[in-house]
């Protein structure tokens, strides 16, 4: 057969306890433990076709052909998968997100998780989800977590993620407030490298992150939203403080980010449980219960500058759609 293909879906994830900084740059191992919630409302669909007719690997995302560094990262992952098999065929990768790519939300997490799963399944490799997670982690550490549904941990120095609890454990809602796009942000890989090299607060982040992670993990397992929300906010703010203290500063927030944070605090003061977190961009993700989600969604939607709010429940494992 001169063609081997698979089509897969992987869901995005948002870290409740953040990963920021590498223990090994060469192996892409995280310096701190992280724990995420997989999102049912944001997913990447990827088809990988290994084809004897191709002279080179090619990839497109949302109809845009990749070149330069983004293509190199795809080829590097395909090379790692080919090294595990006897296949030397080049591949065509066609990927799309069901969330707005242009908004700057397109995280590498669901993308590399889908690519790792799609490429291994296309070649018929029988790897465990943990082994596929390790392949995805080498490309982007947050992608290791997107192989699994529910609540997912990636330890410090860990090669692969592990599921802490399945989606059915706790039906929380993450509302993603998409803010007006600011000019090109620093990529997370570059931002964390710069933070670790230049921020006097980076050692403090690495020192305190494991304790916050332990509290996030405990609160997820105990289903205690109050303690979880506070630990989640602390993780995000400590991570952003380390970036802001870099030289020059890495600031992902816009005035709208701050306005959404203020809105969440007001909701809480008025008795609605809701908590924020932010990643390498200006958007704010707000964690709440199913009962409160509609009210929270409406109050985030009226903050000036919020373009839309994406509703995400807890998502499933990355999975195969079709193969042949
Ligand atoms: C702020 O996984 O994108 O979203 O491993 O260099 O590809 P690389 O970094 P990446 O970093 C994600 C950082 C974060 C926090 C998180 O998802 O834990």
Contacts 24+ apart (CB under 8 A), 287-296: 287/16, 287/37, 287/172, 287/173, 287/174, 287/225, 287/228, 287/229, 287/232, 288/172, 288/173, 288/175, 289/172, 289/173, 289/225, 290/171, 290/172, 290/173, 293/173, 293/175, 295/267, 296/175, 296/267, 296/272
Q: Does ligand 1 come within 6 angstroms of the Cβ of 280? A: yes
Please tell me whether the overall predicted TM-score, pTM, comes out greater than 0.85 for this model. Answer: yes
pLDDT, mean of residues 86-96: 96
Model confidence at 13: pLDDT above 60: yes
Q: Using one digit for the tens of pLDDT, what is the confidence trace for 298-318?
A: 999 999 999 999 999 999 999
Q: Using one digit for the tens of pLDDT, what is the confidence trace for 187-230?
A: 899 999 999 999 999 999 999 999 999 999 999 999 999 999 99
Q: Using the mean position of ligand 1's atoms as its centre, give its distance from the Cα of residue 83 in Å.
A: 25
Q: Which of 217, 238, 236, 239 is nearest to 228 (CA)?
A: 217
Q: Does ligand 1 come within 6 angstroms of the Cβ of 22? A: no
Q: Using one digit for the tens of pLDDT, what is the confidence trace for 102-137?
A: 555 766 899 999 999 999 999 999 999 999 999 999
Per the listing, tokens 């979880």 go with: 228
Q: Using the mean position of ligand 1's atoms as its centre, give its distance from the Cα of residue 31 in Å.
A: 11
pLDDT of residue 76: 98
pLDDT of residue 250: 96
Q: Does ligand 1 come within 6 angstroms of the Cβ of 140? A: yes
Which atom in ligand 1 lies closest to the alpha carbon of residue 279? 1
pLDDT confidence tier of residue 182, bands split at 50, 70 and 90: low
pLDDT confidence tier of residue 181, bands split at 50, 70 and 90: low
pLDDT of residue 2: 81
Give 99 or 172, the one with higher predicted confidence. Answer: 172
Which atom in ligand 1 lies closest to the alpha carbon of residue 109? 2
pLDDT, mean of residues 279-299: 97
Q: Which residues, in sequence order, are CB contacts of 26 under 8 Å at separation 6+? A: none
């Amino acid at each position: 057969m001169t063609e081997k293909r698979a089509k897969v879906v992987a869901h995005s994830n948002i870290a409740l306890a953040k990963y920021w900084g590498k223990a090994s740059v060469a192996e892409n191992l995280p310096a701190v433990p992280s724990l995420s919630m997989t999102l049912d409302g944001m997913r990447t669909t990827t088809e990988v076709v290994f084809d004897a007719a191709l002279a080179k690997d090619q990839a497109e995302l949302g109809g845009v052909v990749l070149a330069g560094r983004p293509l190199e990262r795809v080829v590097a992952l395909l090379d790692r998968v080919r090294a595990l098999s006897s296949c030397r065929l080049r591949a065509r990768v066609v990927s799309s997100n069901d969330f707005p790519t242009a908004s700057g939300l397109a995280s590498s997490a669901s993308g590399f998780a889908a690519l790792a799963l799609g490429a291994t399944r296309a070649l018929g490799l029988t790897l465990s989800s943990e082994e596929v997670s390790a392949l995805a982690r080498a490309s982007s550490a947050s992608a290791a977590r997107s192989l699994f549904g529910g609540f997912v941990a990636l330890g410090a120095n860990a090669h692969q993620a592990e599921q802490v609890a399945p989606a059915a454990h706790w039906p929380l809602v993450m509302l993603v407030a998409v803010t007006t796009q600011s000019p090109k942000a620093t990529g997370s890989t570059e931002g964390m490298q710069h933070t670790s090299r230049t921020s006097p607060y980076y050692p403090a982040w690495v020192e305190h992150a494991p304790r916050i992670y332990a509290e996030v993990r405990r609160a997820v397992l105990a289903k205690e939203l109050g303690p979880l929300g506070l630990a989640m906010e602390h993780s995000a703010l400590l991570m952003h403080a380390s970036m802001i203290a870099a030289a020059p500063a890495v600031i992902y927030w816009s005035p709208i980010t701050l306005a959404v944070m203020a809105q969440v605090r007001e909701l809480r003061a008025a008795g609605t449980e809701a908590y924020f977190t932010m990643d390498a961009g200006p958007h704010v993700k707000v964690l709440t219960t199913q009962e409160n989600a509609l009210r929270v969604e409406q109050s985030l939607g009226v903050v000036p500058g919020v373009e839309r709010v994406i509703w995400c429940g807890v998502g499933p494992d990355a999975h195969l759609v079709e193969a042949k």
